[in-house]
Amino acid sequence: MSSSKKQRSLNKIALPGTVWLASDIHLGPQAPNTQNAFHAFLEQAARQADALVLCGDIFDAWVGDDMAIDAPPPWLAASIEKLRQTASAIPLWLGRGNRDFLIGPRLAQHLGAHLLPDALCLQTDAGDILLSHGDEYCIDDAGYQRFRRIVRTPWVQRLYLSLSLARRTRIADCARRRSMASNQRKATEIMDVAQRSIEQAFRQTSLALMVHGHTHRPGKHLLQVDGRACTRYVLPDWDYDHGQPARGGWMAIDRNGITLHRA
């Protein structure tokens, strides 16, 4: 059996009822309007959903769970409290993206939330869904994929987290500036998912539904994989601070199907 057809073993999480998913909120001190919109969304989710899944890049940067627990700045303390309130009302699941991949079990425990594996089968009333942040599918961006492999290596993360919070923050700021400069030189298509990686994921899991974020290109995509009809949904990103119109949204999943809601 070729590597492209080898079946992939996935963690499975069953979430019946009404499930809301959101991604790429990019909370940070530079985005107060986005933060306010997200807090209102959390309150709405606690009232109307049976579970909430955040699929990564909740925060624009994350240098360790201690930044949110030991002495968080005011903007972060406010969001942590809102997330705690949400987790006390409905099950809250936290995914890790390319910006906040260092979110760990300490934060989840502090919030009363659960951590998502990087890719999983989400079992819902609308069917089984292959869920991830989505950056793993951007394989045409070879430089980013090398960086991704390095920073997700356990010993590299242990070494980084052993540094002081101030030093970690300086390193993260430097890495972010270099990433932004590099992205400006890249073709837009390179930073999107590669069709062959999407098709391979469908083949390896035998699932027909996929949901991810990361690309900031929300929508619904229909495709055929080896004669099988498959559907890929991309979650909206959030930005209420930089430019118009404001962007945001979420996905609602229930027994009636899947609906993308835009701001």
Structure tokens belonging to residue 231:
């559907």
Residue 26 annotated as lining a ligand binding site: yes
Q: How many domains does the chain have?
A: 1
Tell me whether residue 175 is in a domain: yes
Tell me whether residue 67 is in a domain: yes
Tell me whether residue 210 is in a domain: yes
Residue 216 annotated as lining a ligand binding site: yes
Tell me whether residue 2 is in a domain: no
The one-letter code for the residue type at 114 is: H
Per-residue pLDDT of the chain (263 residues; tens, 9 = 90+): 444 566 778 999 999 999 999 999 999 999 999 999 999 999 999 999 999 999 999 999 999 999 999 989 999 999 999 999 999 999 999 999 999 999 999 999 999 999 999 889 999 999 999 999 999 999 999 989 999 999 999 999 999 999 999 999 999 989 888 877 766 666 766 779 999 999 999 999 999 999 999 999 999 999 999 999 999 999 999 999 997 889 999 999 999 999 999 87
Residue bearing tokens 């919109």? 37
Question: Could you tell me the CATH number of the domain that includes residue 195?
Answer: 3.60.21.10
Tell me, yes or no, if the pTM score tops 0.85. yes
Q: Write a three-state SS string for 168-220.
A: HHHHHHHHHHHHHHHHHCCCHHHHCCCHHHHHHHHHHHCCCEEEECCCCCCEE
Residue 141 annotated as lining a ligand binding site: yes
Residue 99 annotated as lining a ligand binding site: yes
User: Phi/psi at 56 (nearest 5 deg)?
Assistant: 105, 160
Tell me whether residue 46 is in a domain: yes
Structural domain of 96: 15-262
pLDDT at 194: 96
Residue 57 annotated as lining a ligand binding site: yes
